[in-house]
Structure 1
């Protein structure tokens, strides 16, 4: 793609030279990036607050002055999104910028109506305005919804690229839930780094699989600094997107995942629809779990949104590490948290793996939920029946372990099946067998992604072993 990041960062000044008063709506990710790229050095704008939603306990903090820059010596407060209307009215806000992801179009517009009624303009930044250009080739993996299959696709592409002899560095969409200044630019080269940075379960779920494959991961808050450091050790930067957000970097190849288990969502969620419209390649994932009619409907929708994109189909086969520990047993299933919460799914790979391994019963953990897990079920009733791996902090990890133990202690289950991408035994201990369900990407017709890589990247210039990349190759 040839899009370049915008250099206009000033915004519209208010009459008399006063700074435009801005609020950024976010969830500890895209909001900080948009501030860094668009507003941090803009003398004509004053960001008076961020708001926070989706992620527990991220409001009540401040975006620190070390990251906010010289125009913000006190930093910037982060308040709960529920305070939005009062904030706009009290602070005479001129512009509200929407900067988070995986929300229905109606949700975005209801927020817009609140802002308009309170007296503020409502803005959505384009990808071009907020993407940074790299000196290296960039492959971006994004999606139409959370929980579609970005992680296994990113791993698949990493194997493909490293198999060509290229140095691949993954840059993960931000998850800065702790000390923001300390998390500005993080490099993960080993499991010890996960402990050194005190990573949450949510962070480990995204970083561990890359480390398992020997791929270095960068993440944090300041994504220009992250990019420049990653470029020092990469031939190809692999953007590993979060939720269904837009890429932070200008991609040479943009791969987007669509979900036939949620047909219609590709045209109903922000900014997933924009990803489809921008995509070079759209992969319809989970074809081995979906109805043929839904696969066909998603493909027709994708082609109507983006007639020039290459559309591929892929399976997401699930295996369990120890089928004998599951066969005929009553099992409690732990699933990836965001897939069940703002991803709105009712199950994930853990349930698929448990059923395929012959589980006699999938035990509903809801009656045993402790603390923040009980609150999660109240907010996301669709998650009942499985246990979301809510691990945004130490307290939630304790509640997760306590919920599992409670079910085991009363004799409700014989084993635990974990559908999260990490080894949960690194962060908690339970008195029953804990079996991992693993999932990968498998192209229905092998070679499609390899062909897309060959067409998009200057492999000869990068020094790749192009003889290893044949039309039928697959990791």
Structure 2
């Protein structure tokens, strides 16, 4: 078994540590650059390639699938029953159709509203495994000092700081089952503040998907963003103040065709 790296800089050439890989992989799991996939398939006799990252167009995804099939392998996408965990607490997931849709502002507003209702929301962020993975099993952020303690990257700081400045506890980490167990000890509502346009890691009781109203063409041309629209209970057309009424109506019509049962709400860039 091997992992390939495509979107995380500097991770190719490393090893997913044995401590996290489990007893079946006492030497850990090697991480190779995705460009070396044909070489790995031939050398190791690979029969199955599982695709497990996000933020691609459908065409980009199928281009990768076509290359894998041409190598003689099966190509698999993992669904929610294989990847999502069930929490003992209520979970609200905030996802997006595409990176840059504006879900972070939506997540922060959601946390504020939950507090006003008397809840104790805890945010769980998508992990960003740039550092030493063994030290990133479970990360708890309660203050800005914790960003230094965990040696967070600029990208991590951009995502975590706004929550911390508002007094919100944030969890992240590589082992998202252990992360969930720790987060459940502190909050009565788990807010999944996802990265990119990933599916939630936890089964949501309420699934909110954010759509960038300025880029409606991505509604049905983004993986797994379109899946998030299909699964959503609420669809937010964000940046509504940046488009004309006609463009906003078009975006609303497009999401309703994909998911006619979802509630559709339009919001401005700042909420």
Counterparts of 1:63 and 1:309, CA distance in 2:
39
- TM-score using structure 2 length: 0.98
Equivalent residues in 2 for 1:248-287, closer than 5 Å:
248-287=201-240
User: Deviations 1:363-408 (Å, cap 9, x if unpaired)?
Assistant: xxxxxxxxxxxxxxxxxxxxxxxxxxxxxxxxxxxxxxxxxxxxxx
- Which has the higher mean CA deviation after the structures are superposed, 87-96 or 238-247? 87-96
SS of alignment partner, residue 181 of structure 1: helix
User: In terms of Rg, which structure is larger?
Assistant: 1
Match status 1:90 vs 2:43: yes
Match status 1:147 vs 2:105: no
User: Deviations 1:65-112 (Å, cap 9, x if unpaired)?
Assistant: 010011111100111111112211221111101111110111111111
- Provide the residue aligned with 2:75 in structure 1: 122
SS of alignment partner, residue 240 of structure 2: coil
SS of alignment partner, residue 96 of structure 1: strand
Counterparts of 2:116 and 2:9, CA distance in 1:
39
Of 171, 186, 194, the match for 2:147: 194
- Provide the residue aligned with 1:238 in structure 2: 191
Counterparts of 1:290 and 1:177, CA distance in 2:
36
Structure 1 stretches of at least 4 aligned residues deviating more than 4 Å after TM superposition: none
Counterparts of 1:107 and 1:89, CA distance in 2:
23
How many residues align? The count is 271
Q: Which runs of 5+ in 1 are unaligned?
A: 1-47, 317-439, 442-475
Of 193, 203, 207, the match for 2:156: 203
Match status 1:70 vs 2:27: no
User: Deviations 1:259-303 (Å, cap 9, x if unpaired)?
Assistant: 121121011010000000000000000011123332122111100
More contact order relative to length (CA 8 Å, sep ≥ 6)? 2
CA RMSD of the aligned region, Å? 0.9
Match status 1:54 vs 2:7: yes
Q: Which runs of 5+ in 2 are unaligned?
A: none
User: Deviations 1:143-185 (Å, cap 9, x if unpaired)?
Assistant: 0000111100000000000111111100001111110111011
Match status 1:298 vs 2:251: yes
SS of alignment partner, residue 136 of structure 2: coil
SS of alignment partner, residue 114 of structure 1: helix
Shift of 1:128: 2.5
Match status 1:247 vs 2:204: no
Counterparts of 1:301 and 1:59, CA distance in 2:
39
User: Deviations 1:94-138 (Å, cap 9, x if unpaired)?
Assistant: 110111111011111111111111111000011232100000000
Of 26, 32, 36, the match for 1:79: 32
- TM-score using structure 1 length: 0.56
